[in-house]
Amino acid sequence: MLNIFKHKNQPLYGADYNPDQWLDRPDILTRDIELMKEAGCTTMTLGVFAWTSYESEDGVYHFEWLDDAMDRLHQAGIGVFLATPTAAKPLWLSEANPEIRRVDRQGVREPSGERHNHCPSSQLFRQKSQAINRELAKRYAGHPALMLWHVNNEISGECFCESCLTEFRVWLQRKYGSLDALNAAWWAAFWNHSVTEWEQITPFDQSVDGMVLDWRRFVNDLHVSTLENEMVPLRELTPEIPCTTNFMSTFDTNNYYQWSKVLDLVSNDRYPLHDDRENSWQVSMRTEFVNALMRGMAKGQSWIQMECSPSSVNWWQVNKLKRPGVHFSEAMQYLAHGADAVHYFQWRKGRGGCEKFHGAVIDHDGSGQTRVFAECCEVGRALESCADISGVPREKSPVAIVYDWESKWAIRASVGPKAPRLEYPKADDVHTQTAREHYNALARMGVNADITFKDQDWSDYRCLILPSLYLIDADTAAKVSSYVEAGGVVVGTYLTAYVDPNNRVWNGGLPGAGLRSVFGVWNEEIDYLFEEESNTAMFNQGSEQDQSIVTDFAELIHAESAHGIAVYNQDFYQNRPVCTKNAFGTGTAFYVGARLDGQGLIRFYRDVLMAAKLKVRAEALPAGVVIQDRKGAAGRVFRFVFNFTRTKQAVELEGEWRDLVNDAHRFGSVELAPYATMTLISESVN
C-alpha cells in the first residue's frame, strides 16, 4: 500500500483548494481549516492553476502563500496533494513565446489565456514546466504535508502547429521505417493517396482512416511524454512521493490505460448529471462502469476520485441540484469500487471567474450552515466509519470486460459503422456503449464485472467479454483463442474483430484474425436500423421473457460450428441466428450479433454464466439497483446497496449485516428510499 493511504488510516477526503485566490483575506484560511476539520477532511489539493503566483516573471520565484498554506494545513493534520501548475500557462510566458500556444486545424494560433491549451510538442513549454516543477520539488521535498504530486490537470486536445506536424512525421518514420510500409498500412492507393515524400504528410485528410488512427496515437503519445517530462524533477527530488494526473473517465482521445502505466497511481474526475428525471439512474450506472474501469487500470491498487461536485456543476445546460442522498450515494460508489480517496472540485466558491457558481463544499455565505455542507459532513463520517477498507484491494470478479481505446478510435475513424443513437444524457462511442450495456446486465444478475485490457493476464477470469472490440491484432486474437481452448468462456458481440491495428478490415470473413473458428460463426453482413426500427431476438423457449428487442445493429451471421441460441423474428433474415454458442477446445465461445435490450442481455447471460459455472441471483435486481461488496482489513465484508432510482425499491440481502449508519441489524428483504444507500458490514468475519 502506498504511504499516502496510511494517512489517518481511513479513506482520504478533501477538495481542490485555492487559498491563492484569497490572499487579502487571511481569516479565510483560518476559517476554512476549522470547517475542513468539521467535515472530516484529511487532505487538500493545492495550486492547480497557480503558476503566476509562484513565478511572476521568468525565473523569479516566490512561494510565500504556499509555504503558509502547507504549514498551516499540516499543523491541522491535513495532508496536501500538490499540483504542478502547468495546466494554465502564465500570460507573460505565452505572450513572449507564441510557440507555446496551440494552432487550430485552420492554421490559426490561439490567443493567450484559457487553460489546458499548451502546445504539446513545444520544447520551450517543456523546459519551463520542468523548471517550475523543479522549484516546487526542491522547496517542498521533505515537507511533512506533501503526500502526492497531481501533475498538470485534465490534459487533452491537439495542436496543428509546424512543430507538431514535424514531430508527427518523425513519429511515423520511427514506426514504419519506409514510405512503402506506411502506404501499405494506410491503404494509400485508395483515392490516390500514396505518399512519396515524408513532408507531404499532414493530419488533415480524414479519408485516410489509417492516418487518422495514427494521429490519435501520436497525440496521445505526446500527452504521455508531457507527463513524463513533468515528472522528471519530481521523481528525482522526491522519489518517495507518488505522481498521478486526473483522468476524465472514458474521455475519447486519451488512452488512459497507456497513461496509467507511467503514473504511480490512478485518479479520476467525474461530474454525473443527476437531474432527477425518470432515467437519471442510468447516469449512476455510467459511474459504476467508469469506476470499474479505474479499478481495472489501478490493477488492484487504491485509486483516487480526484474531482466530483458536492452539489451541482455550472456547465450543463440545466444545472440541477443533486437531490438529498444523491451526493452521498456517488461518494460511496467510488469507495465501493476501490477508491481510497474522495476529493471535490471545489472546497470554496470563488467570487469571480467562470466557475463562481460551480458547486463547492463552502458557498459564498462562508458558513457551515448549508445543506451541502451538512451532506459533506455526512460523507466525512461515513468515510471514517469505513476506515477498515482503506488500502485493501477489491477482490477480482470472475468476469471481465476488455476495454480498448484503440477500438474506440478505429470505429470513429472508419466511415460506415453507425454512431449509437443519442442516449441519455449524451452519446458514447459504440465500444463504450456496448461495454456498459453488458456490464449493466451482469450487475443486475449480481456479477460486478472487472474491466481488463488486451495485454493483461486473463487466466483468473472464468468469462471474458469482447464488447464491439472492433480492432484486434493477431496476438490478441491468438490469446483469445488460447483462453477459450484452455476452458474459458468468451463473449463476442457485433462489431468485434473487424479490423487490424492499421484499421484495415481482416480478410477471410468476419470475425477476423482467426476468431471465426473460435466463435464458429461467419458474420456475413451487418444491418443498421433506423431509430424508429427494431427487430426481435427469440431465445429457444420463446416465452415473453425469452425475447429481446433488437436496435441499431443486426449482424447476419451463419452458425458454422456454432449453434444458434436465439434467432431474429422479423425481416428477410427472420429465423437466422442472432446469438450463438460454440464449443472450442475445452471452453465455450458465445456470440451476440445484435444490440439486445437489458432484459435480452440478462437472458443471454443466463446461458453464458451457466457455461462459466457461475452463480447468479435467482431474480435480477431492479434496473438502477446495485449491490457492491468490498473487503476490509479485518476480514469483514462491507456491502454497499444503492438505489439510484427516484422510486423506492425492495432488495433481498443475502446474509446478515449491521448498518454502519444506525447500527441496525439487516437481513432478508430491505426497502430503500429513492436515492438511498445502505452501507453495511458483515456480522461475521471470513
**Alpha carbon distance 129, 84 (integer Å):** 8
The three-class DSSP label of residue 411 is helix
Other residues' Cβ atoms within 10 Å of the Cβ of residue 120: 27
Instruction: Tell me the CA distances in angstroms from 64 to 28, 73, 117, one per residue in order.
Output: 16, 14, 27
Minimum distance from residue 358 beta carbon to ligand GAL (Å): 5
Site mask for ligand GAL (CB under 6 A), range 304-333, x = bound:
---x-----x--------------------
Minimum distance from residue 370 beta carbon to ligand GAL (Å): 19
DSSP string, 83-126: EPSTTS--HHHHHH-GGGB-B-TTSPBPPS-SSS-B-TT-HHHH
Minimum distance from residue 345 beta carbon to ligand GAL (Å): 4
Residue whose CB is less far from ligand GAL, 348 or 516: 348
Minimum distance from residue 246 beta carbon to ligand GAL (Å): 6
Applying CB under 6 A, which of residues 84, 94, 152, 153 lies at the interface with ligand GAL? 153
DSSP string, 198-218: GGG--S--TT-HHHHHHHHHH
Tell me how many residues contact ligand GAL (CB under 6 A): 9
Site mask for ligand GAL (CB under 6 A), range 550-589, x = bound:
----------------------------------------
Q: Is 34 a known active-site residue? A: no
Minimum distance from residue 350 beta carbon to ligand GAL (Å): 11
Considering only residues 249 to 308 of the shown chain, the ones binding ligand GAL according to CB under 6 A are: 269, 271, 307
Q: Is 360 in the site for ligand GAL (CB under 6 A)?
A: no
What residues pair up with 596 in beta bridges, in sequence order?
A: 550
What residues pair up with 491 in beta bridges, in sequence order?
A: 465, 590
9: left (phi over 0), alpha (psi -120 to 50) or beta: left
Minimum distance from residue 313 beta carbon to ligand GAL (Å): 5
Residue whose CB is less far from ligand GAL, 359 or 501: 359
Catalytic residue among 158, 288, 307, 378: 307
Residue whose CB is less far from ligand GAL, 345 or 640: 345
CB 395 within 8 A of CB 631: yes
The three-class DSSP label of residue 514 is coil
Considering only residues 35 to 54 of the shown chain, the ones binding ligand GAL according to CB under 6 A are: none
Minimum distance from residue 341 beta carbon to ligand GAL (Å): 16
Residue whose CB is less far from ligand GAL, 160 or 344: 344
Q: Is 154 a known active-site residue? A: yes
The three-class DSSP label of residue 437 is helix
Question: How many alpha carbons lie under 13 Å from residue 484 in its C-beta half-sphere?
Answer: 27
Applying CB under 6 A, which of residues 81, 247, 345, 657 lies at the interface with ligand GAL? 345
Residue 630 phi/psi, 5-degree rounding, is -140, 135
Residue whose CB is less far from ligand GAL, 88 or 499: 88
Residue whose CB is less far from ligand GAL, 245 or 448: 245
CB 638 within 8 A of CB 617: no
Residue whose CB is less far from ligand GAL, 73 or 313: 313
Minimum distance from residue 640 beta carbon to ligand GAL (Å): 25
CB 92 within 8 A of CB 58: yes
Smallest CA-to-CA distance from 338 within 376, 381, 307, 300 is with 300
Residue whose CB is less far from ligand GAL, 15 or 234: 15
Q: Is 358 in the site for ligand GAL (CB under 6 A)?
A: yes
**Alpha carbon distance 29, 20 (integer Å):** 10
Residue 72: CB partners within 8 Å, gap ≥ 6? 29, 30, 33
CB 573 within 8 A of CB 527: yes
Question: Cα dihedral sign for 169, 175, 181, 185?
Answer: negative
Applying CB under 6 A, which of residues 154, 230, 275, 552 lies at the interface with ligand GAL? 154
Minimum distance from residue 584 beta carbon to ligand GAL (Å): 45
Instruction: Tell me the CA distances in angstroms from 138 to 231, 239, 319, one per residue in order.
Output: 13, 12, 42
Residue whose CB is less far from ligand GAL, 345 or 405: 345
Read off the C-alpha cell for 297: 487500470
Q: Which residues bind ligand GAL (CB under 6 A)?
A: 153-154, 269, 271, 307, 313, 345, 355, 358
Active-site residue list: 154, 307
